[in-house]
Amino acid sequence: MSEDLNQVEVKSFEIGDKVTGQVTKVEEKQVLVNLQDSKLDGIIPISELSSLHIEKASDVVSEGDSLELEVLKVEEDALILSKRKVDAEKAWDHLEKKFHDGDIFETEVKDVVKGGLVVDLGVRGFVPASLVEPFFVEDFSDYKGRKLTFKIVELDKEKNRLILSHRAVVEAEKGKQKQNRLESLQVGQVIDGVVQRITDFGAFVDIGGIDGLVHISQLSYDHVDKPTDVVQEGQNVKVKVLNVDRDNERISLSIKETLPGPWSNISERAPKGSELTGTVKRLVSYGAFVEVLPGVEGLVHISQIAHKHIGTPHEVLKEGQEVKVKVLDVNEQDQRLSLSIKELLEKDVEENLDFVLPEESKGFQLGEVIGDKLKNLKK
């Protein structure tokens, strides 16, 4: 009689009906439930417990759990039910809103499969390998069980297709940080950075989510042939902001301007009366500019080049020539050095120096030479 009643009651249900049941027994491949307000039992096959593949029913439900279910099949004295379909139906509505709103949310990676990651959002969500990180990842095995932030990039309910991206979240955050960093930068700021990339024309330095260029001319006060002679990738450096082009997202930086200038402490490095060796850099009508330290040039006035009268510095000097000079005066504030070649020639016979005399200067009188030497001896 009771079996007849069960059969009658079972037949009162139709496929697609929504019911509530309490878990009475969890077996390995199925779950038994008792339907609310009924003496009927229902069966949930393991494949209908979750949108993901599971090995054991106990991974999803426990005895005593109350579940919302959908009738899949009506049998003689029991109902075949699905938890997965109810969960999916609720999930799609929720997920469609997230997709249209562009929401970012956090969820756990349930599985690592060939080609990407799998998450459970009430329906199976797939994260292709190319959408996991902004960089190449060779092995995803340690991603299982990790919680990551995601954004839905593709949703098709009819095809049961849900594609997620963690990479999009990371890149959007970087873009926001980059914009904030651009807005905060001010010309003249000195900040810390890390050398990211080196090219023939300079080095790109990361200054907090955005790269700026240190042109080769801004790497050092010394002449630089190759940027790698001065900096290396990964090196921590201090840089000064020279220019910020927010529209084109271009930043010009300088390492050179954070370093002590070539004229810093020049009074100590080239004190008055000191003797130095330098290189003739430029010849002008009134004298010669000699580089005595990297980036430091001093003037040898034409009257301080030789004891004898010369019409132009070109008569006795040439660019690139190495000379010994004496510091006559130092002005660190105005970055000026007064030098003399003549002062050191008093110690030697001037004729022994490799001075080049033009043809018109060779018609001198013997008395002039002897007279110059006598003057030197009197000194």
Using CA atoms, how far apart are residues 336 and 339, in angstroms rounded to an integer?
Answer: 10
CA-based nearest residue to 28, from 6, 41, 47, 5: 47
Place of tokens 């990964």: 234
Return the closest-CA partner of residue 57 out of 43, 69, 78, 71: 43
Q: Distance between CA atoms of 270 and 326, rounded to whole angstroms?
A: 9
pLDDT tens, position by position, 225-283 = 999 999 999 999 999 999 999 888 899 999 999 988 888 889 889 999 999 999 999 99
Write the CB contacts of 80 (distance below 8 Å, at least 6 apart in sequence): 42, 43, 44, 45, 48, 71, 72, 73, 74
Fold that domain 186-258 belongs to in CATH: OB fold (Dihydrolipoamide Acetyltransferase, E2P) (2.40.50)
Instruction: Judge contact between 302 and 286, C-beta under 8 A.
Output: yes
Per-residue pLDDT of 296-308, as tens digits, reads 999 999 999 999 9
From residue 133, alpha-carbon distances to 113, 208, 220 in Å are 16, 19, 37
**How many angstroms separate the Cα of 113 from the Cα of each of 55, 110, 117, 336?**
15, 10, 6, 71
Percent of the chain with pLDDT over 70: 88
Cα separation of the two ends of the chain: 143
Hey, which residues does 19 pair with through a beta bridge? 69
Superfamily of domain 266-352: Nucleic acid-binding proteins (2.40.50.140)
DSSP of 250-310: EEEEESGGGSPPTTTTHHHHS-TT-EEEEEEEEEETTEEEEEEETTEEEEEEGGGT-SS--
Whether 186-258 shares its CATH topology with 266-352 is answered: yes
Of the pLDDT bands very low, low, confident and very high (cuts 50, 70, 90), residue 287 is very high
User: What are the structural domain ranges in the chain?
Assistant: 2-86, 102-170, 186-258, 266-352
Instruction: Identify the CATH assignment for 2-86 out of 1.10.10.10, 2.40.50.140, 3.50.50.60, 3.90.1150.10.
Output: 2.40.50.140
**Mind listing the pLDDT tens digit for each residue in 10-42?**
667 888 888 888 999 999 889 999 888 777 889
Please give the model's pTM, rounded to 2 decimal places: 0.54
Query: The CATH number of 102-170 is which of 3.40.50.300, 2.40.50.140, 1.10.150.130, 3.90.230.10?
Result: 2.40.50.140
Q: What is the mean pLDDT of the chain?
A: 86
